[in-house]
Amino acid sequence: MSHPLQLPHPKTTLHLFRHLLRESSYLPPIARSFIDGRITARFRSHARDDFTTIGPKVREAHRGLRNLRAANAGDMERMRRVLYWSFGRLGRRRRELLGEFVRLEHPNPPPNDRRADFLDTWDVKKVTAFVRSQAATPILNSAKTPLTIHQVNVENSLPTENAWGRPLAAKLRRSKLRKAWKLAIDKVIPPLPGREWTLLRDLANGTAPRKLWAVPKRRPVCRALTDDDLPAWNWQTYATQPVAKVDVQANRRNKLLSGIVDEHSPVDPPALNCHRYTPRFWRRMYHNIYQMSAKMEPSRKGVGWDITWGAQLFEVPPAPAASMDFFQGARADGTLLSKPARPVRIKQGKKPKEKKVLT
């Protein structure tokens, strides 16, 4: 974990672009390529925009810079979201994976009695098989809400009659079918390519090379030799406004986002929800993504699909030498080698009750 950067606020879009790329260089190497590509693509897509309309995009870029700095500084939830984006569990890459997943190689022309829609370009059988597999797999801390029973069987969940008890019209049935599939596909976590799924498995098991998950150390920021360039203390603000309002960016809740150090306290208090990134932390983080990822391949039998979800087998660690005395006299299955003799209990006689004499 590195301390948040205390750099000047970027004034120009080029300065902001460099700040984003610099902060992305401290992400895990497995996620850096996607984040760098997104930063470059977003800036290039708005390079020719008018300065009068670019304001919202610049504010969005500043917000992204704060989120990246907080993630690198120890904000676990923001780092998890960055990894979700990189592996296609959320965001743009998820939509790209979904587009490739549902696409039908040879779309069939629609009937003459209706117009073509997006379902005509979907491989509905393939999507249905994956939706049922995802609904049957327990996923902990999923990036999406679980599928309902009506979304697992979309065709069977449609009503057969309208509000007047008459058979449902074909056009209305098609509209309801499109709406039901839109709600269902929004909860689908698309499968990963086989090579990427294998790499994610190695990251979760701790067998991947260190260069794929080790985060580079933060390089020190150059500072001025003299304090002449430091801003003067604005005591008028503290005299006219509450201290909590003036130092709102330096409090423990916003410190990870702002990177400001509380210089007016004897001891700089640590930020809230700040975690230290360790190899064990990265394995647990990648395992969380691995168990919500699947790979989908055509069945070897020639019919259907083989869907494999990520899961880590639990292995009991060996007992340390200091605890071996506790297991002496027992087999590997827990049974005793020789049953000890049962201790003989000697019943002690009860004391006679004393009779009370009335006087």
CB neighbours of 93 closer than 8 A, spacing ≥ 6? 34, 85, 86, 87
Tokens of 334: 């827990």
pLDDT single digits (tens) 71-104: 988 888 999 999 999 999 999 999 999 999 999 9
In a domain, 188, yes or no: yes
pLDDT single digits (tens) 46-77: 988 888 888 899 999 989 998 998 898 888 89
128-148: average pLDDT: 90
Angle at 122 between CA 121 and CA 125, to 5 degrees: 140
The count of residues in the chain is: 359
The mean pLDDT value of the chain amounts to 83
Q: Which helix (H) or strand (E) holds 308?
A: strand 305-309
Separation between Cα atoms, residue 19 and residue 82, nearest integer Å: 17
pLDDT single digits (tens) 147-177: 988 888 888 888 888 888 899 898 999 999 9
Tally of domains in the chain: 1
295: β partners: 308
Residue 4 confidence class, pLDDT cut points 50, 70, 90: low
| Contact indicator for 39, 84 with CB cutoff of 8 Å | no
What is the pLDDT at residue 49?
86
What is the pLDDT at residue 1?
46
246-255: average pLDDT: 67
Tokens of 152: 């697992």
Cβ-based burial of 191 (10 A; exposed 0-12, middle 13-18, buried ≥19):
buried
Is 80 exceeded by the pLDDT of residue 357?
no
Is 60 exceeded by the pLDDT of residue 44?
yes
Residue 221 confidence class, pLDDT cut points 50, 70, 90: low
What is the pLDDT at residue 301?
84
What is the pLDDT at residue 239?
76
Range scoring the smallest mean pLDDT among 34-43, 302-311, 320-329, 342-351: 342-351
In a domain, 330, yes or no: no
In a domain, 69, yes or no: no
What is the pLDDT at residue 241?
79
Burial 112-130 (b: 16+ CB within 10 A, else e): eeeeeeebeebbeebbbbb
Is 70 exceeded by the pLDDT of residue 8?
no
Separation between Cα atoms, residue 167 and residue 190, nearest integer Å: 35
In a domain, 144, yes or no: yes
In a domain, 267, yes or no: no
Which among 296, 269, 314 is positioned nearest to 188, based on CA atoms?
A: 296
For residue 155, what is the DSSP state?
H
Range scoring the smallest mean pLDDT among 115-129, 138-152, 171-185, 335-349: 335-349
Strands 305-309 and 294-298: antiparallel
In a domain, 293, yes or no: yes
Is 60 exceeded by the pLDDT of residue 126?
yes
Tokens of 22: 């610099």
Collapsed DSSP state (helix, strand, coil) of residue 76: helix
Is 80 exceeded by the pLDDT of residue 216?
yes
Collapsed DSSP state (helix, strand, coil) of residue 49: coil
Separation between Cα atoms, residue 205 and residue 315, nearest integer Å: 12
Q: Residues of the chain with pLDDT > 70: what percent?
A: 77
In a domain, 285, yes or no: yes
Q: Which residue has the higher pLDDT, 173 or 267?
A: 173
What is the pLDDT at residue 311?
80
What's the domain range around 184? 109-215+277-310
| Contact indicator for 182, 295 with CB cutoff of 8 Å | no
In a domain, 182, yes or no: yes
284-291: average pLDDT: 93
Range scoring the smallest mean pLDDT among 63-67, 226-230, 287-291, 326-330: 226-230
Is 80 exceeded by the pLDDT of residue 133?
yes
| Contact indicator for 103, 95 with CB cutoff of 8 Å | no
